[in-house]
Structure 1
Amino acid sequence: MLNITQQASHIPVEAELSSAFFSDENQRIDDVLESGLKAGLKNRMINLIALCGIIGPGVFIGMGNALASGGPVGLLVGFSIVGILIFLMMGSIGEMNAAFDQNFAILGSKYVSKGFGATIAIFYVVIWITNIISEYTSLTAALETYSSTVPTYGWYLIFWFIFTVFQCLDVSWWGEAEYILGFLKLAFLSGFYIFAIIYAAGGIKDHKPNNSFGNFPLKDGFKGIASVFYSGIEGISVIAAEARNPRKAIPTAVRSTIFRVFFVYFGLSIFYGVTVSYNDPFLTEADKVMRSPMTIAITEAGWPGSKYLVTTMIWITCFSSINSAIYFASRSLFTWSKAGFGPKIFTTVNKKGVPYVAIHSCHIFGFLSILSYSSGSTVVYSYIVSVSGVASFIVWTSISVTHLRFRKGWIAQGYSVDVLPFQAYFFPWSNYVGIFIGIVLTLVQGWSCFKPFDYKIFIDDYIMLPLFFIIWFCYDFFYFKKGIIKPMEMDFHTGKRPDLDDNVGAELDNYDASGEKADVIIHTSSSNEKLT
């Protein structure tokens, strides 16, 4: 007979071979959540945010640049590769976040090293701050289509005030707003797909697309493919901390990843490719809204006023993107601070459980978007917003590394994989492939700067790579004075979800020395249960 007693107060030294691992808690013991964040996000919010969160201004304008530089095949191949990486990475996030209500940076600090997690957190904050800056630029540009009488800084100040007030409301308001905006984005995208099918099939009289199915070139070879990637889907790990029912919401969101990849990435790649020619001059020479493949396709189909419809959707997606970027940046900064990686002031929350200090600290960087309208500051602005490219791939790769370490420690300490609420697909090969693709994408992100070689672009594209290792090294050896965490020293108690109590009765894959399944007595605060 093997007796096992729950110990939630310290890191286990001896293996607890029981599904009761998840059962002896009545509240979240994670220090980050005890700080006052409110779990106010409903399942329907998380599911639609997970589906539509990747539909940003980039799908309207940014993909036009990618189509021009990579051609239709480059666009499709590029998003196919990144789609595979996303699918594999989301499996890792799903397994860890269905069991622990900590984001991937905190998990990295528990299963790789404290410095590793701290560095991921910093990079993730930087990624979303640069998104705030770039999306404000897109928002003001879209609004100028309607009226040029209001100066650019005027639009910025108006919406900066709106976002400042809105972000300090209860998190459920943020969730509801993203839910409504996500529905609108999904409806518009579906409508465009229907239009593209009819248009490409010749269903609009006297109007045919400039591009045909046979004209599907790969422009600029691999250099063209290397320029079409973008990120943002991993934010579900940050949302998990404020989910009301994460055990159900997170696995559902992860399982829908493959649908999101096909619907958004593959769908737009194909329909843009068949309705707009990659060498259409409007993709590179027109004003911002007219560069959108949607605008070009609908205009050529006979509706010259389509730019106002697309502009409206760009405005909606910009509003949603800024709203999300402020949320992700502030929560990541809050987590970084609460975990002991930085100043504690960023952990301050109001009565509604909103980390307002972190929100204002991140949102203030939005003022840098004004640099894009100054001829002397345009270069500086472009450097600021482009650093997120390599940083995103580094974060994605780090998530796969963290998951490998998580599984290694989990098994080393005697826990059964069967008690995990969600298990990653194809482990461990999914992680190996994900890490390989992540490394390749990190290295080729700036591929287009090599021919001809431009040292300024090279530094801009790759500066984040050495910075990651420098910051990691400094944290581990000078700040924490600790290195890589050993599997038997990993912490599988703090942050475990109290909503997993029904796992108590699950049968466990534990065997005694004779090869027979062992009898396990589970000691909980309420009962002793025997599993055979």
Structure 2
Amino acid sequence: MDTELKKEGQSVADVDLGDSSQTSNKPGLWNSFKDSFKPAIATETLTSKFGTEDESELSDVQKAALRSANSQLSRSLKSRHLQMIAIGSSIGTGLFVGSGSALHAGGPGGLIIAWTLISTGIYTTMQGLGELSVAFPVSGGFNIYATRFIDPAVGFAIGWNYFMQFFVLLPLELVAGSITIKYWNTSINSAVFVAIFWAGVVFITLLGVKGYGEAEFIFSFIKVLAVSGFIILSIVLICGGGPSHEFVGGKFWRDPGPFANGFKGVCSVFVTAAFSFGGTEMVGLTAAETSNPRKTLPKAIKQVFWRICLFYLVSLTMIGTLVPYTSKKLMGSSSVDATASPFVIAIVEGGIHGLPSVINAVILIAVLSVGNASVYATSRTCNSLAEQGMAPKWTGYVDRAGRPLAAILITDIFGLFAFIVASDKQEEVFNWLLALSGLSSIFTWMSINVSHIRFRRALRYQGRDTDELPFVSQTGVWGSWYALILNTLVLIAQFWIALFPIKGKPSAYDFFLSYLGLPVILASWLFYKMWKNQWKLFIRAEDIDIDTGRANVDIDVLKQELAEERANLKQKNFFYRSYKFWC
């Protein structure tokens, strides 16, 4: 029975908890709730090419591959959850507020150039991630891919840096939420709102992956609706449909002009644009908890293209057209409230009143959405590290509801650190905590690029081809090379801006705030090498395991199914084929 359930994408735990019709002794609601926190019931292990279940005979990489493939996480995420997670996972304060500082530093031309180039890199990166995650829907996503296809030390460094990035983000977002509330001039102590938001996040995270999926579905839907409404309103304002009936056109592109601070300004926007896409890769983490990864993940991965084109590039074009980069209101764009948002500035300058409160409410929702997502990312990464033997074993505890309970509780408890909002040192503390993993997203994307390149290399070396893959990257291995080079250029640009800031003097304090992530990740890599006394730089292509954890073990059957699907698709009309290609 266990094997049949596995094929249907369910765990034994799901049936034990949810299907009471198969037992005459129906447990009470309280007993069901209480029992859900007990250890997950072991299911039949997946097959691997190692030919043994005795882990003492396996290497560290083989153990990591086998454990991640047999994770007890619940497969409860459905297609609609993944669609909205893919579309809205990184629509947050980086777009609603951070784009204001980018406009001030680089001008509208710099805004469009930087976000366009970075978005192409994100698109190709997500294509490579899609290929890997559909073929290997295992616990840990890109973290385990780095361990298996590059080197365990790289997986260790990437995993712990990604953990730290989102571990710190929860209390930071709770504080940001309390600051956002101040827009309505409330006299209530900010700590009260921190407690309310913290309790809400804890409640959602303890509901399990399905609770996270439903919450993100609602949050993302609201964010998407807000951005779509803003784009429509902006077109009306540009064409002179506002209360003043002034035709805006491209006047701010002529005066003060398309660029601010020249080439250095554009480079600084590159860095802001890269950070604004942080969280896009989170779809890869959902692979182990998706009910039908072969069908649902490709759709979610392809949605990234539409999100980039519509929600980022179009909305940023509208902002660059409606708001001059010389606007004094943009100066305070580092704060988290509606007054600094270029979305609000554009609306107010257009003569429309009343909407700033709506935008501020959307910013608050975006903040809480990121807080909710940070618990998901941290707990799943921590669980993956524990499965690989890179974190204490107890942190990988998974209960019968399929929740990585220990990792969730660790993250939620650290969220209480947000009560530092009552301290006058909060900004300095958070700045340094964020600096520890400030470049984590870029390093994560680079690891995905290299993992995809190494996987393709191993596939070719071992006499296999892409015909056996359920989903093939539309940009191929060259797309991953392109993204890798682009991410390297972003690191170089960040180094330059950190060392020689715009209209500022070189400062060791500011430099390490911006670039501390690099020595931290190098130290993490070196620590693992010394800990394991393993000094190989990478796993050779012939030694890479390209079978364990595969969603479809019978390659011949899979090839036949894929061939039939391609044949059926060829018989459809051009518009249907185009739709399936992009969506």
1:250 to 274, 279, 297: 297
Q: How far did residue 211 of structure 1 move?
A: 5.8
Contact 1:72 1:218 survives alignment (8 Å): yes
Q: 1:12-31: CA deviations, max 9, x gaps?
A: 9xxxxxxxxxxxxxxxx952
Higher mean displacement: 93-102 or 456-465: 456-465
Q: Which residue in 2 is equivalent to 1:59?
A: 95
Q: How far did residue 388 of structure 1 move?
A: 4.1
Q: Which residue in 1 is equivalent to 2:453?
A: 404
Q: Which residue in 1 is equivalent to 2:114?
A: 78
- Counterpart-to-counterpart distance in 2, 1:112 and 1:255: 25
- Counterpart-to-counterpart distance in 1, 2:554 and 2:92: 34
Q: Which residue in 2 is equivalent to 1:486?
A: 540
Q: 1:270-297: CA deviations, max 9, x gaps?
A: 0110111111111124873211111112
- Counterpart-to-counterpart distance in 1, 2:125 and 2:312: 16
Pick closer, same or farther for the CA change 1:500–1:443 going to 2, 3 Å: farther
Q: Which residue in 1 is equivalent to 2:288?
A: 241
- Counterpart-to-counterpart distance in 2, 1:466 and 1:314: 33
Higher mean displacement: 202-211 or 234-243: 202-211
Contact 1:276 1:296 survives alignment (8 Å): yes
- Counterpart-to-counterpart distance in 1, 2:542 and 2:69: 25
Give the aligned residue type for 1:44: R
- Counterpart-to-counterpart distance in 1, 2:525 and 2:344: 45
Contact 1:142 1:311 survives alignment (8 Å): yes
2:473 to 424, 445, 454: 424
- Counterpart-to-counterpart distance in 1, 2:326 and 2:74: 50
Q: Which residue in 2 is equivalent to 1:220?
A: 261
Contact 1:419 1:506 survives alignment (8 Å): no
Q: Does the alignment pair 1:164 with 2:202?
A: yes
Contact 1:368 1:381 survives alignment (8 Å): no
Give the aligned residue type for 1:476: K
Q: How far did residue 213 of structure 1 move?
A: 4.1
Q: Which residue in 1 is equivalent to 2:358?
A: 309
The SS at the match of 2:425 is coil
The SS at the match of 1:212 is helix
Contact 2:124 2:480 survives alignment (8 Å): yes
- Counterpart-to-counterpart distance in 1, 2:251 and 2:415: 38
2:73 to 15, 34, 37: 37
- Counterpart-to-counterpart distance in 1, 2:427 and 2:475: 45
Contact 2:435 2:517 survives alignment (8 Å): no
Q: Which residue in 2 is equivalent to 1:503?
A: 558
Give the aligned residue type for 2:94: G
**Taking structure 1 as the reference length, what is the TM-score of the superposition?**
0.86
Give the aligned residue type for 1:56: G
- Counterpart-to-counterpart distance in 1, 2:435 and 2:106: 18
Higher mean displacement: 449-458 or 119-128: 449-458
- Counterpart-to-counterpart distance in 2, 1:366 and 1:220: 39
- Within 5 Å, which residues of 2 pair with 1:376-415? 376-415=425-464
The SS at the match of 1:322 is helix
Q: Which residue in 2 is equivalent to 1:151?
A: 189
Give the aligned residue type for 1:247: R
Contact 1:121 1:336 survives alignment (8 Å): yes
C-alpha root-mean-square deviation of aligned residues, in Å? Answer: 2.4
- Within 5 Å, which residues of 2 pair with 1:7-46? 8-11=47-50, 30-32=66-68, 34-46=70-82
Contact 1:170 1:354 survives alignment (8 Å): yes
- Counterpart-to-counterpart distance in 1, 2:493 and 2:372: 30
Give the aligned residue type for 1:77: I
Pick closer, same or farther for the CA change 1:435–1:194 going to 2, 3 Å: same
Pick closer, same or farther for the CA change 1:71–1:372 going to 2, 3 Å: farther
Q: How far did residue 403 of structure 1 move?
A: 1.0
2:124 to 88, 92, 95: 88
Q: How far did residue 193 of structure 1 move?
A: 0.3
- Counterpart-to-counterpart distance in 2, 1:380 and 1:196: 38
Q: Does the alignment pair 1:466 with 2:519?
A: yes
**Taking structure 2 as the reference length, what is the TM-score of the superposition?**
0.78
- Counterpart-to-counterpart distance in 2, 1:499 and 1:152: 53
Contact 1:400 1:434 survives alignment (8 Å): yes
Q: How far did residue 100 of structure 1 move?
A: 0.3
Give the aligned residue type for 2:260: K
Q: Does the alignment pair 1:136 with 2:190?
A: no
Give the aligned residue type for 1:296: I
Q: How far did residue 171 of structure 1 move?
A: 1.4
Q: Extract unaligned runs of 5+ from structure 2.
A: 1-45, 52-64, 564-583
- Counterpart-to-counterpart distance in 2, 1:11 and 1:473: 29
Contact 1:386 1:461 survives alignment (8 Å): yes
Q: How far did residue 487 of structure 1 move?
A: 1.4
More helix by share: 2
- Counterpart-to-counterpart distance in 1, 2:493 and 2:354: 39
Contact 2:453 2:480 survives alignment (8 Å): yes
Q: Which residue in 2 is equivalent to 1:181?
A: 219
1:323 to 369, 372, 384: 372
Q: Which residue in 2 is equivalent to 1:194?
A: 232
Contact 1:11 1:493 survives alignment (8 Å): no
Higher mean displacement: 374-383 or 438-447: 374-383
Pick closer, same or farther for the CA change 1:264–1:419 going to 2, 3 Å: same
Q: Which residue in 2 is equivalent to 1:49?
A: 85
Q: 1:337-361: CA deviations, max 9, x gaps?
A: 1111110111112221111211121
Pick closer, same or farther for the CA change 1:435–1:475 going to 2, 3 Å: same
Q: How far did residue 505 of structure 1 move?
A: 2.7
Pick closer, same or farther for the CA change 1:181–1:477 going to 2, 3 Å: same
Q: Extract unaligned runs of 5+ from structure 1.
A: 1-6, 13-28, 509-532
Q: 1:430-456: CA deviations, max 9, x gaps?
A: 222111111111121243331421111
Contact 2:468 2:559 survives alignment (8 Å): no
Give the aligned residue type for 2:109: V
Contact 1:369 1:381 survives alignment (8 Å): no
The SS at the match of 1:505 is helix
Higher mean displacement: 295-304 or 399-408: 295-304
Q: Which residue in 2 is equivalent to 1:264?
A: 311
Higher mean displacement: 240-249 or 464-473: 464-473
Q: Which residue in 1 is equivalent to 2:324?
A: 277
1:290 to 339, 346, 350: 339
Q: How far did residue 57 of structure 1 move?
A: 2.1
Contact 2:243 2:352 survives alignment (8 Å): no
Q: Which residue in 1 is equivalent to 2:393?
A: 344
Give the aligned residue type for 2:110: G
Give the aligned residue type for 1:492: I
Higher mean displacement: 496-505 or 308-317: 496-505
Pick closer, same or farther for the CA change 1:285–1:237 going to 2, 3 Å: closer
The SS at the match of 2:389 is coil
- Counterpart-to-counterpart distance in 1, 2:417 and 2:326: 33
Q: How far did residue 186 of structure 1 move?
A: 1.1
- Counterpart-to-counterpart distance in 2, 1:479 and 1:199: 61
Q: Which residue in 1 is equivalent to 2:487?
A: 438
- Counterpart-to-counterpart distance in 1, 2:510 and 2:315: 28
- Counterpart-to-counterpart distance in 1, 2:85 and 2:332: 33
Q: Does the alignment pair 1:457 with 2:504?
A: no
- Counterpart-to-counterpart distance in 2, 1:184 and 1:342: 37
Contact 1:36 1:353 survives alignment (8 Å): yes
Pick closer, same or farther for the CA change 1:129–1:507 going to 2, 3 Å: closer
The SS at the match of 1:411 is helix
Q: Which residue in 1 is equivalent to 2:104?
A: 68
1:117 to 155, 165, 171: 155
- Counterpart-to-counterpart distance in 2, 1:373 and 1:409: 53
2:410 to 327, 350, 361: 361
